[in-house]
Amino acid sequence: DGELYQNGTFIDKIIEMNLRNSVFADCTADHFIALRYEDIIMAKIAVVTCNKIANTLGMDYYHKLHRQAVSQHVPFLYETNVGAALPVICLIRQMRLCGDTPERVEACLSGTLNYVFSRYDGQTPFHRIVEEASSLGYAEPDPMADISGKDVMRKTLILARECGMDIEESQVNTASFLPPQWPCEEHFRSLYLESRQKEGTLRYVSTIDNRGVKAGLKVVPREHPFSGLRGTDVSVILYSRLYPNGLRVEGAGAGGRQTASGLINDILQCV
């Protein structure tokens, strides 16, 4: 019930009811709900979320939530924070539990940006393709949130933290590829022509290694796995001692149904 939620009493209510094996699933992108996870976990209620806010606030809150989840023996699961239902967070966790750690992560995390850059050929104006992605339901309601790279930055931050890095949002090195004026077709056409000249494909790539965490537009060579991504598919490659050539996961990384199936997987792990 919307009203119950609006004044926060829905969460008070489930804490008060104190039912066994409760799972709180957050399918919003709401800041205030993310700040209530602490209360929920302390009440021994599992939290499953596709909301990226809690994991991208300060490290203090991040550590606090994770520590509390452990001490309360309560699952806090957020596989859908990165790549919808694709197994990314759980793979990093499994690696680390076995004494292996990703030494380097390369990822192409935005289904929207992959779609847009795959479609753009310098003919149809760039902003038209963004509108198209939006009307097909691939992009956020405000597609600028997607193409500004803000969403990718959050996913990259979450992956870096999952790899064990103590890192704040401000330390993720992102370079926006947007022109000061929007739309500015000339800007995008020159990016496209540059990629053609280098015989590559434009991709928004995240990189995590001991030199830092960054995300930005790159021209990847045709033979690189990111170049061949289709539709809204995303790709994550984890390099570690056991996976020197990389452990690669690839597939639909956006979409309501995919995210819902990822949430169900997480919920099933709680019970």
List residues with catalytic annotation.
Answer: 155
43 vs 133, which CB is nearer to a second copy?
133
End-to-end CA distance of the chain: 25
Closest of 259, 223, 9 to residue 111, by C-alpha: 259
94 vs 135, which CB is nearer to a second copy?
94
Burial of 183 (0-12, 13-18, 19+ CB in 10 A): middle
Residue 228 Cβ vs a second copy, minimum distance, rounded to whole Å = 7
18 vs 94, which CB is nearer to a second copy?
94
Residue 76 Cβ vs a second copy, minimum distance, rounded to whole Å = 17
198 vs 241, which CB is nearer to a second copy?
241
Q: Give the residues lining the site for a second copy (CB under 8 A).
A: 85-87, 90-91, 94-95, 97-100, 223, 225, 228, 230-231, 233, 242-252, 255, 257-258, 260-261, 264-265, 268
34 vs 105, which CB is nearer to a second copy?
105
- Asked if residue 85 lies in contact with residue 262, where contact means CB atoms within 8 angstroms, the answer is yes
Residue with tokens 């050929």: 121
Number of other CB atoms surrounding residue 243 within 10 Å = 16
Residue 225 Cβ vs a second copy, minimum distance, rounded to whole Å = 8
